[in-house]
Amino acid sequence: MGWRFQLKRTRMLWDLGLLLPALVFGGLLHPELTGELDDCFCDVESIDVFNNFKVFPRIKKLTEKDYFRYYRVNLKRPCPFWPDDGHCSIKDCHVEPCPESKIPVGIKSGNYNKYSQVANLMADMTECEQANELGAINSTLSNQSKEAFADWARHDDAQDHFCELDDETSPDAEYVDLLLNPERYTGYKGPPAWRVWNSIYEENCFKPRSVYRPLNPLAPSRGDDNGEGFYKWLEGLCLEKRVFYRLISGLHSSINIHLCGDHLLDEGWGRSVWGPDLQEFRRRFDMGETKGEGTRRLKNLYFLFLIELRALYKVVPYFERAIVGLYTGNSREDRATKELLLELLSEIKAFPMHFDEKSMFAGHKMEAKTLKEEFRLHFKNISRIMDCVGCSKCRLWGKLQIQGLGTALKILFSEKEIQKLPEHSPSKGFQLTRQEIVALINAFGR
């Protein structure tokens, strides 16, 4: 099949909503992408079928719900590692914050409503009545509930997060409507963008300086070995460090595929045309143009999918509790959102080929603990690098997806705490903030 016909077919499927932005775009246009994945007992074809028919239709509906479409983020934090390049002046880099009047009242109210028993009593109030009542919730809670919330807040502050979290109370933190600020190609590229990825790969992926990778991570390795020297080193790493690299590579692939899938094709008189760009996809993932690395990059995307899928499987008991509501202030909408989430989680539970994380950090207790902490700190450092991204829209989606993956890792390393969750009261052992839940679902949706 000629690539021009393939591109026309791709655009038709995309317009019909039948082409999924990441996994299908990769599989449809990359015939070498097939067979088993490394480090797990699963294959590309099984993931494709499961994602296309079970996951994607539900996750798409879920991310359109009010609870998941509004994300609070600080896009003005300075880069902690090098002098700020200044924000991208390209108009498509701009992020439009959401006016306060558009944010559902239950989301604006903050963290008192993570557990929605009190909030659900207010379902039939007017918006103004809700706003007044929400401000008084803290004074109307029972002493027992106040103590539980206080314990929960203290534990939440003390948890070992995998990400450098934004201060949601900062005056620079704003709500963003993710549906109105989609992840797409913005024109942000070149040395400023390469420096971000270079810092991530060179300084945080457990790679010795003696193993060369180019400044531009899209470029193939130098030399005549088609990068095999690098991959021999990678395969020689312990499982945990290899998983770390594959997660970052998979995230990089996901971001690149979305830029290819929603690329600026034409900029006419006041009207921009966006759509899938096959040539850009080939440049980043074609076997010939990447000296064989394209398939590896895409398989790492599938690996990332499996890791986040596994985290959602592990966190099912947290969301199955009646006390956990996805509160926006609209009781009918909130019930429908919770039902849709549980429906998605039910499908995920039925998937037969989950990644088995029990083989990670399973060696000597002290060595495993040290490695786990090193793993966490490296990932946390990458979350700080996101504040060095010069394009506001790229920074938004980078921060969200890093927080989503960090939340997935937090879940995978909290299995015992999740198993001990009480049914009818807040837990001191494991919590997810609304920001973490929104980031987790949207990152998986990506």
Tens-digit pLDDT profile for residues 184-198:
998 888 888 889 998
Mean pLDDT by 10 residues, the chain (446 residues): 47 45 52 76 88 94 97 93 76 90 86 42 41 35 45 44 77 93 90 89 81 54 56 81 92 93 81 86 87 87 94 96 92 96 97 85 81 90 94 96 95 89 79 94 96
Q: Which long-range contacts (CB under 8 A, 24 or more apart) does 400-403 make?
A: 400/71, 400/73, 400/178, 400/438, 400/439, 400/442, 400/443, 401/251, 401/254, 401/255, 401/439, 401/442, 401/443, 401/446, 402/163, 402/251, 403/163, 403/165, 403/435, 403/436, 403/439, 403/443
Cα distance between the two ends of the chain? 28
Catalytic site positions? 391, 394
Question: Domains of the chain: which residue ranges?
Answer: 35-109+145-212+242-268+289-445
Q: Please report, in range form, the residues annotated as the binding site for FAD.
A: 184, 186, 197, 249, 252, 284
Could you read off the pLDDT of 6-39 as tens digits, one per residue?
455 445 444 434 444 445 454 555 667 787 887 7
Q: Please report, in range form, the residues annotated as the binding site.
A: 184, 186, 197, 249, 252, 284
